[in-house]
């Protein structure tokens, strides 16, 4: 859509004519002259040269007036306003903390009539969740015996999903440091100004390593206003698969009491996923509890056009000055 920012300036269009019409003429310098009695005959012999000069003077005035109109049109600030474009609103800062302890190798999830490990199920479901979080900044923490920041908060969801897909058991040790994972997330959130900060903590065990106790980490999270959703992954041990049978009593139990405490104290919720359908449902619930910000505002891009009439007006004045200089 074309519009003029200051269309009232067009009322100045007749200003040069008004000045010429009503302003007092500049005082002419009195000079002595020579009367030529045969001037009329000379004009007739030269084909009316004085009349042609008068026409050229009128043409120059019209040319300069057109230059004035171009400059005046440029002053009105003509512009083109584009179609409405949805405005990107600020979403949430969300970090996924994924357990890479040895027990995540347990194959007690089924996908397509085939048993898969807990980590593979997490990658499949959490990867889809990451792709749906349009507008949010997503980060990724991998933890086991230690916690590592695999991906800082970013809008590049594709890269975060790829880093999750590349995660392997053993990258961070064999034990489970839940408290350190929460502490690392707090450290990354501390410098962020966004008030909508969420941590999704996924584990299948209990805290058996790390320097920070989970309950102490929870107190720090409450103080910082970090909301934590905890997800317990895997079936009960008596329903476990090959890894559970091989490790026997050494396989850590899922500490649901601590995971529930962490979620409740920070304003989140605790979920339990014993199969891949439940895990997918949990992430759908998370989409409802922490909905993606919808675009409720738009803006219209503006392209300035004033430079075109401005350039035309300046060029016309330059040509007028050159023409007048050539004619003396």
Each residue's pLDDT tens digit, 138-160: 999 999 999 999 999 998 999 99
Q: How far apart are CA 94 and CA 196, in angstroms?
A: 8
- Nearest residue to 204 via CA among 237, 181, 227: 237
pLDDT recorded at residue 84: 72
Range from 5-9, 20-24, 55-59 carrying the lowest mean pLDDT: 55-59
Tokens for 321, please give them: 């000055």
Q: Is the pTM of this model over 0.85?
A: no
Q: How far apart are CA 64 and CA 321, in angstroms?
A: 10
Q: How far apart are CA 123 and CA 233, in angstroms?
A: 12
Give the number of other Cβ atoms within 10 Å of residue 15's Cβ.
Answer: 11
Tokens for 275, please give them: 């199969």
Question: pLDDT tens-digit profile of 292-312?
Answer: 665 556 667 888 898 999 999
Q: How far apart are CA 217 and CA 211, in angstroms?
A: 10
pLDDT recorded at residue 240: 46
- Nearest residue to 309 via CA among 75, 59, 65: 75
Query: 280, 122 in Cβ contact below 8 A?
Result: no
pLDDT recorded at residue 130: 92
Tokens for 241, please give them: 């698969």
Q: How far apart are CA 59 and CA 49, in angstroms?
A: 15
Q: How far apart are CA 125 and CA 83, in angstroms?
A: 37
Name the DSSP class of 258. Answer: H
Q: At what angle do helices 276-289 and 118-132 cross, to 10 degrees?
A: 30
């Amino acid at each position: 859509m074309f519009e003029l920012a200051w269309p009232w300036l067009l009322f100045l269009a007749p200003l040069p004519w008004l000045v010429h019409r009503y302003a007092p003429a500049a005082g002419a310098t009195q000079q002595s002259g020579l009367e030529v009695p045969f001037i009329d005959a000379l004009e007739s012999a030269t084909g009316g040269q004085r009349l042609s000069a008068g026409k050229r003077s009128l043409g120059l005035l019209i040319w300069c007036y057109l230059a004035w109109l171009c400059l005046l049109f440029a002053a009105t600030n003509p512009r083109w306003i584009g179609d409405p474009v949805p405005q990107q609103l600020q979403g949430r800062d969300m970090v996924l903390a994924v357990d890479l302890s040895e027990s995540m190798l347990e194959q007690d999830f089924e996908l397509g009539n085939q048993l898969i490990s807990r980590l593979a199920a997490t990658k499949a479901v959490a990867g889809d969740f990451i792709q749906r979080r349009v507008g949010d900044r997503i980060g990724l923490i991998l933890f086991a015996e230690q916690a590592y920041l695999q991906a800082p908060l970013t809008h590049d969801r594709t890269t975060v999903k790829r880093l999750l897909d590349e995660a392997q058991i053993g990258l961070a040790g064999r034990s489970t440091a839940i408290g350190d994972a929460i502490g690392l997330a707090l450290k990354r959130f501390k410098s962020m100004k966004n008030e909508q900060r969420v941590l999704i903590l996924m584990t299948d065990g209990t805290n058996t390593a790390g320097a920070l106790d989970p309950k102490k980490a929870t107190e720090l999270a409450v103080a910082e206003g970090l909301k934590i959703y905890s997800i317990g992954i895997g079936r009960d041990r008596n329903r476990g698969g090959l890894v559970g049978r091989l490790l026997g009593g050494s396989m850590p139990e899922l500490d649901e009491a601590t995971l529930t405490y962490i979620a409740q104290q920070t304003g989140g919720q605790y979920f339990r996923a014993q199969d891949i359908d439940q895990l997918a449902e949990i992430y759908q619930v998370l989409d409802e509890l922490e909905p993606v910000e919808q675009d409720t505002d738009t803006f219209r891009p503006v392209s300035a056009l004033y430079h075109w009439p401005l350039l035309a007006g300046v060029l016309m004045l330059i040509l007028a000055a050159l023409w007048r200089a050539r004619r003396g």
